[in-house]
Amino acid sequence: MSDPFLMVVLFVSVLLLLAASGLDYVLRRTWAFQRKRLRRDAEERQRNLWARFRRTASYHVDLRELRDFVISLQLGTSMEETLSGALFTAAEQFESRGDFGKRLSKHVETRLSIAPEEVIKGLAEDFQSEHLRDLAQRLEMARDGGISYERALSLTVSQLEEEIRGDLKRDIQMTPIQLTFPMIIGVFLPAVLIGMYPLISRLLSNIFGLRVDR
């Protein structure tokens, strides 16, 4: 009996044994489960790649602009205006203020009918802002009766102002370091050149004097 024929017989025997014992069903289920897991892993990698791409393409907003936006909502709600009305008013006020105003107007048009918190969530996604994410969570708590809208907005304003003050302090502390090199170039270098001028002038006179004598 040749080796190829023996291999075929063994292969068929294994298949028959699997079919008779029910192991083929187990193997099919295992393979189906593995296929699903691999597909989920591939989809997760694709989502992570897309999220990373969206982060690199996100907009930028200054903390002061965020603070002004939240203060606008705070003023609107304190005048017995609904959060939706305050967002609509803020969209009109910020319409001409760059990317933030444009994205705010866009989300008010498309998401305000769903819920006012969805506008804040859309802005948080666009600008990758933890402050806006926290604000959206607080506003949802306020909607469910956990805290008041005034409290939710005032907490965010306080956090933004604290971070702005921290940035200003860091800028003030870094100013002397940033000015050191320009001061060296602008003050000390001219002083050194002025001090060396007589020596350089005398040296040049000696060099040119020697050439004339020759």
pTM reported for the whole predicted model: 0.58
pLDDT digits (tens, 9 = 90+) for 152-167: 999 999 999 999 998 8
In 3D space, the residue among 140, 105, 144 whose CA is nearest the CA of residue 123 turns out to be: 105
Report the distance separating Cα 195 and Cα 106, nearest Å.
Answer: 64
Q: How far is CA 193 from CA 6, 189, 197, in A?
A: 97, 6, 6
Domain boundaries, the chain: 3-56, 63-163
Q: How many residues does the chain have?
A: 214
> Is 108 within 8 Å of 88 (Cβ atoms)?
yes
> Is 90 within 8 Å of 73 (Cβ atoms)?
yes
State residue 212's pLDDT score: 46
- Is a pLDDT exceeding 70 seen at residue 86? yes
pLDDT digits (tens, 9 = 90+) for 4-28: 555 555 655 655 555 555 555 555 6
Report the distance separating Cα 180 and Cα 29, nearest Å.
Answer: 71
DSSP state of 101: H
Cα-Cα-Cα-Cα dihedral of 62, 64, 66, 68, to 10°? -150
DSSP state of 145: T
Buried b (16+ CB within 10 A) or exposed e, 153-175: bbebbebbeeeeeeeeeeeeeee
Cα-Cα-Cα-Cα dihedral of 60, 89, 86, 81, to 10°? 170
Q: What's the number of CA atoms in the CB half-sphere (13 Å) around residue 165?
A: 6
pLDDT digits (tens, 9 = 90+) for 94-153: 988 889 999 999 999 999 999 999 999 999 999 999 999 999 999 999 888 878 888 999
